[in-house]
Amino acid sequence: MMKTYYVYIMASQKNGTLYIGVTNNLARRVSEHKHRIHEGFTKRYKVYMLVSYEVFYSITAAIKREKQIKKWKRLWKIQLIEKMNPYWHDLYDEISR
């Protein structure tokens, strides 16, 4: 069975603070952010909305993409989010079913 990996973007609000991460369990990881399980960036800056994600079948490819997006200009990150999610809806309900 193929493993699935996700590169995801969390936001504090529309056009707010952004966080980019990689995980092999998107629903669990976003839930951890939402419930403030871990100390760190998302807890400190109240970054709790899942606004974008991409699926990969290789951890190497996922990490490469995460690093690529992290280097991007903020405008490019916003354009990536709005391509998938133009209204900045929290996608957590969609992925946690």
Q: What is the pLDDT of residue 62?
A: 98
Q: What residues does 55 pair with on adjacent strands?
A: 6
* pLDDT band, residue 77 (cuts 50/70/90): very high
Rounded to the nearest integer, the mean pLDDT of the chain is 95
Sheet of 49-56: strand order equals 18-23, 5-11, 49-56
Question: Please, which residues have CB within 8 angstroms of residue 64's CB and are 6 or more apart in sequence?
Answer: none
Burial call 37-63: b when 16+ CB within 10 Å, e when fewer = eeeeebeeeebbbbbbbbebeeeeebe
pLDDT, residue 38, reads 83
Q: Which two tokens stand for residue 17?
A: 């603070």
- CATH match of 5-95 with 3.30.830.10: no
pLDDT at 63: 98
Q: What is the pLDDT of residue 47?
A: 94
Q: CA-CA distance, 11 to 9, in Å (whole number)? A: 7
**More confident of the two residues 2 and 61:** 61
Contact 11, 88 (CB under 8 A): yes
